[in-house]
Amino acid sequence: MYEIVARQDLSETTYLLEVAHPQLARAARPGQFVIVLSHEQGERIPLTIADFDGERGTVTLVIQAVGKSTKEMQQLCQVGRSLLAVVGPMGLPTAVNDVRKVVCVGGGLGVAPVFPQLRAHKNNGAYTIGVIGFRNRDLMFWKDKFARYCDDLIICTNDGSEGIAGLVTDGLAAAMKEHDDIDEVIAIGPPIMMKLCAEATRPRSIKTTVSLNPIMVDGTGMCGGCRVSVGGEMKFACVDGPDFDGHDVNFEELINRLRRFDSDEREAMDRWSEQCRLMNDG
C-alpha cells in the first residue's frame, strides 16, 4: 500500500498525486513510467512519472480523468488514502547525452512528463527551451516550475489568454526561428501533437524524440497491446520505449489502434456512471 501524501486539483479533470514510495523515488529516471492499481478490482493504468524526489521518497503523477478508471481514481484518491500497487520504474530512461541545446515541448497533460526530461538536460549543462501549451490560462500549471529550469520559456494557449495564441507547434516554430543550433526536440502530448512536432522538425533534420503511451496491460512486452511501428519494425512501448524517434513512428497506425477500444471504454464509463448515480440516489 502506497500512501497518497499530497494532492492538487489542477482543473476539473486533471489532478496531481504525490505518492510515498522511497525505493521507486530513488530508482526513477526521466522518461520512465509506472503501472498503478488503485484497488483490488481496479484497472492497471500506465502513468508517466511527472516528478520524483529521492530525499522525500515520493513520486508525482499527473492524471487526467477521461475514462472510468481515471474518474474513479479522481474520486477515491485523497490524501491519507493509499494505492494498492505502484509498479516501476518501467521503460527505458530518456538518454541525456551531450546535448547542447534542447527544446522540450509539452501539450496539455504532456506538460507534466516532459518536465523531468527538461530538468535533466538543464542539470547536464544544456541550454533548455520549454514550450508548453494549454487550452486557456485557467488550465495552466507548473509555469514557475518550468521557468526555474528554462533558459527560454514559451507558453501557448489556444485562446491567447497567456503567451502565444496558438498551439505548441506555433511555439516550436518560434523557437526554431530564433535558434538555428537546436540539437534535439522532445515532444510529449497527444499523438497528433507529437506527429505535427516531428513533421515540423523533419525539414531541418532535428532529432525529435516522442514519448508514446499506447494501451498497456502487463508492462513487460508479453501482452503485445502496446506494439507500435517504428522505422518499419514492430516495437513494444513498455520495454523498447516509451521514447522513440518521432520521424520513424507510424502515427496513423498508433492513432487507429488507440481508437479500437473506444466503444468498450464508453460502455465501462456508462456502467460506472449508472452505478455511482444509484449509490448517490440511495
pLDDT interval class at 260 (50, 70, 90): low
- pLDDT greater than 90 at residue 77: no
Tens-place pLDDT, residues 26-42: 999 999 999 988 888 88
pTM of this structure:
0.85
What's the start-to-end Cα distance of the chain, in Å? 30
pLDDT at 245: 93
Stated as kind and residue range, the H or E segment containing 94 is none
Was domain 2-90 assigned CATH 2.40.30.10?
yes
Higher pLDDT, 225 or 170: 170
Residues of the chain above pLDDT 70, percent: 91
Q: DSSP code of 50?
A: -
Distance CA 254, CA 101 (A): 29
The class that CATH gives domain 92-210 is alpha beta
All structural domains of the chain with their residue ranges: 2-90, 92-210, 212-263
221 phi and psi angles, rounded to 5 deg: 85, 0
Span 183-195, average pLDDT? 92
pLDDT digits over 123-165, tens only? 999 999 999 999 898 888 889 999 999 999 999 999 989 888 9
DSSP H or E run through 61: strand 58-64
**Does the structure show a pLDDT above 90 at 98?**
no
Which residue carries 499530497 as its cell?
6
Q: Stretch 228-237: mean pLDDT, rounded?
A: 90
